[in-house]
Amino acid sequence: MQVRCQICGKVTEVAVWTKEYQRLKDSPDHPYICRACQQKIQAEAKKDQKL
Ligand SMILES: [Zn+2]
């Protein structure tokens, strides 16, 4: 299954046995965000907490 990252637009292949696939299947309306962007968001969130 191919999904497109809502932030960078990168298309990623998600294997059916992964947790990400299960999450997408359970909530199809939930926007997909690739791992790189997730890490970026988490880093930004940590930065905001410190300020
Ligand atoms: Zn991305």
User: How many folded domains does the chain comprise?
Assistant: 1
State which residues form the domain around 27: 2-50
Distance (angstroms) between ligand 1 centre and the Cα of 49 equals 22
Distance (angstroms) between ligand 1 centre and the Cα of 12 equals 9
Q: What is the pLDDT of residue 16?
A: 93
pTM score > 0.85 for this model?
no
**Tokens describing residue 41:** 């968001």
**CA 33 – CA 9 distance, rounded (Å):** 9
Distance (angstroms) between ligand 1 centre and the Cα of 11 equals 8
Residue 12 phi/psi, 5° resolution? -125, 140
Q: What is the pLDDT of residue 51?
A: 66
pLDDT one digit per residue (tens) for the chain, 51 residues: 899 999 999 999 999 999 989 988 998 888 899 999 999 999 999 998 876
Contacts of 7 (CB under 8 A, 6+ apart): 33, 34, 37, 40, 41
Q: Longest C-alpha distance within the chain, in Å?
A: 40
**CA 7 – CA 37 distance, rounded (Å):** 7
